[in-house]
Amino acid sequence: MRNTWVVYAKTFSAAGLTGDAVCSASEWDAMEAENPGRHTLVRSGLGSEVEAERYARQRLEAATALAPAAKTLPGYRGKW
């Protein structure tokens, strides 16, 4: 059986800072068993590590493209 890959939002601190990360489905299962709910599964069933990395980068690029626009909104004072 071919191993699939997942993209998940990794929580870095109690403050809730996150970033996307990639691992095999079996590694995800082990992490979830050890610390249920600590990280959030974004997408599963990706066919290769390359495909998973590409998906994670696209999410980052989309989020980055939206961030500067938020700073031009009326009432923006540097924090939400």
CA dist 57 and 73 (Å) reads 26
CA dist 28 and 53 (Å) reads 15
pLDDT at 66: 62
User: What is the band of 46 on the pLDDT scale with cuts at 50, 70, 90?
Assistant: very high
- Output DSSP code: residue 10: E
User: What is the band of 72 on the pLDDT scale with cuts at 50, 70, 90?
Assistant: low
pLDDT at 1: 46
CA dist 45 and 8 (Å) reads 12
pLDDT at 33: 97
Mean pLDDT of the region 59-78: 62
Question: Is the confidence at residue 25, as pLDDT, over 90?
Answer: yes
Alpha helices, DSSP H, located in the chain: 25-34, 49-70
Mean pLDDT of the region 52-63: 87
